[in-house]
C-alpha cells in the first residue's frame, strides 16, 4: 500500500472548515457545568449484618454453581 492510499485519521478536518455549520458545537457556550458532588453511602458497621450478607452471598454462589453442574 503506497502512502497516498492511506487515510489520515488524526487530521480529519480540512482547512477552511472551522466555521462550517456541520461541525458539532458545544452544548454550553461557556463550557460544561461542574460535576455535582457524589456522596458514597456505606452500610452501617454491624457485625451481624455483615455475617448475614456473607451467608446469603455464599448460598447464592453455591446455588449458581450447582445449576451449572446440572447443565
Question: What's the confidence (pLDDT) of residue 60?
Answer: 94
Question: What's the confidence (pLDDT) of residue 45?
Answer: 79
Question: What's the confidence (pLDDT) of residue 62?
Answer: 92
Question: What's the confidence (pLDDT) of residue 61?
Answer: 94
| Pairwise CA distance, residues 23 & 30, whole Å | 18
| Pairwise CA distance, residues 37 & 30, whole Å | 20
What are the mean pLDDT values of the chain's consecutive 10-residue runs (71 residues total)?
A: 60 61 64 83 82 94 87 67
Question: What's the confidence (pLDDT) of residue 32?
Answer: 74
Could you state, in order of their start, the residue ranges of all structural domains in the chain? 43-71
Distances (CA, A) of 71 to 59, 61, 66: 19, 16, 9
| Pairwise CA distance, residues 2 & 21, whole Å | 34
Matching residue, cell 487530521: 11
Amino acid at each position: 500500500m503506497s502512502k497516498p492510499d492511506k487515510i489520515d485519521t488524526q487530521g480529519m478536518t480540512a482547512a477552511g472548515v472551522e466555521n462550517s455549520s456541520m461541525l458539532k458545537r458545544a452544548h454550553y457556550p461557556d463550557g460544561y457545568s461542574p460535576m455535582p458532588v457524589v456522596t458514597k453511602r456505606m452500610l452501617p458497621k454491624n457485625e451481624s449484618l455483615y455475617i448475614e450478607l456473607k451467608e446469603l452471598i455464599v448460598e447464592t454462589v453455591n446455588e449458581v454453581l450447582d445449576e451449572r453442574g446440572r447443565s
